[in-house]
Structure 1
């Protein structure tokens, strides 16, 4: 990649912003992340934004220093001593660094404890209760049964939805949950589990045992009510979850 080019002259697949949106921020080089903040380049040699980002890191890394360690404590005035960095670019970088510090240091709010099927149903009601199509969702919990978040995994037709154990546990692991409740809705309002509901629950319980991520319940919601498969089946006796 030639870093004296403008970002607009680069192929779309090589532009930092597009790469971030496609591949995620974690897959970008540090110079590319800085380039997104800079927006434009210039400096000596009329560098692109990526080139200027590399130049900034090079300047911060002089004397065998860690560029990111220097960046964490740098002042706007020090940044503006780097050729090509004026007040606007310096302010953007400093603001991003400070935001990152605050996000890292922030303490989470007290999380809701999910200690019953009704509490779980209430947390999922907005996503599932009155929907015209079947939806399958997960309720993600920490080790103390505190709510981390909820996620709709799939959306089906008016009568069925498909959710594979792979899709479900992928989201559980990605979110770092240590316990999980799954749920889906029956738009008809009939809360009786189907044979498919029972078989999927059996597969999920077996997978939860293997992954050591207890599946606490499988709920069916509809027409303002809910049903707990843990309360009406013996599946949890067949596949103990150690919870």
Structure 2
């Protein structure tokens, strides 16, 4: 447990003495986990968790199913980690200016830092109001993107639940090349047709690559 660590290694003591901002990523995570296991201290468990998910930045995309597969992480710890991540996401969302996304570049600027450096494909939606302001951002799927796994039900459910008038579809290409595949084309067309049936406009679908992105609305690849 944290309280059993030597004082000089105890992140709680360090936070009280020097301020919470003095803690490393591993120490912050250790405060959330609180306990290790028979084989590892809580600091060692925190370091291994970050190593296995691919680093601190990947916490933003980790899922419950992924967490509980990790040795030493059971339901309670997984839920606590996800709760902290969700708080951070909501604080970020509230802090962002309610800017209208009026062009493909506006959309790209909002999401580029989240999606450009990911090692797996992520399918994300932005739910918009009638003025193209973001109401909600949601990661729908992580893995290889195709029509069989990105289900319309999950996508449109998010929009309907918050009475969103419009959607932006987003996904990244870990290869860095933002050129659309035939599957990307088919997926976009499917969502456009379904959106028309449900009176939910698909504003655009962006593919994020390395310093480049493709807009299905503009039918053009942009190099940054």
Aligned equivalent of 1:166: 153
Output the CA distance in 2 between the equivalents of 1:212 and 1:126. 31
Please give the residue correspondences for 1:1-243 in structure 2 after superposition, counting only pairs within 5 Å: 111-157=98-144, 160=145, 162-232=149-219
Q: State the shift of 1:125 in Å.
A: 2.0
| Distance change >3 Å, CA 126–CA 196, structure 1 → 2 | same
Whether contact under 8 Å (1:124, 1:150) holds in the other structure is: no
Unaligned segments of structure 2, at least 5 residues: 1-94
- Secondary structure at the residue paired with 2:111? helix
- Normalised by the size of structure 2, how large is the TM-score? 0.52
Aligned-pair Cα RMSD in Å = 2.2
2:126 is paired with a residue of what secondary structure? strand
Displacement of 1:126 in angstroms is 3.4
CA-to-aligned-CA distance 1:44-89 (integer Å, 9 cap, x gap): xxxxxxxxxxxxxxxxxxxxxxxxxxxxxxxxxxxxxxxxxxxxxx
Alpha-carbon displacement from aligned partner over 1:198-225 (angstroms, at most 9, x marks no partner): 1111110011101101101110001122
What runs of 5+ residues in structure 1 fail to find an aligned partner? 1-107, 234-243
Q: Deviation of residue 109 (structure 1)?
A: 8.7
* Preserved CA contact (<8 Å) 1:140 1:177: yes
8 Å contact kept, 1:140–1:181: yes
Report the number of matched residues: 125
The 3 A distance-change label for structure 1 pair 116 and 202 is same
Instruction: Check conservation: 1:120, 1:139, Cα contact below 8 A.
Output: no
Q: Distance in 1 between matches of 2:163 and 2:112?
A: 23
Give the whole-Å Cα distance in 1 for the aligned partners of 2:117 and 2:163: 29
Say which is worse superposed, 124-133 or 113-122, in terms of deviation.
Answer: 124-133
Tell which structure's C-alpha radius of gyration is larger.
Answer: 1
Residue of structure 1 equivalent to 2:54: none
Q: 1:19-43: per-residue Cα shift (whole Å, max 9, x none)? A: xxxxxxxxxxxxxxxxxxxxxxxxx
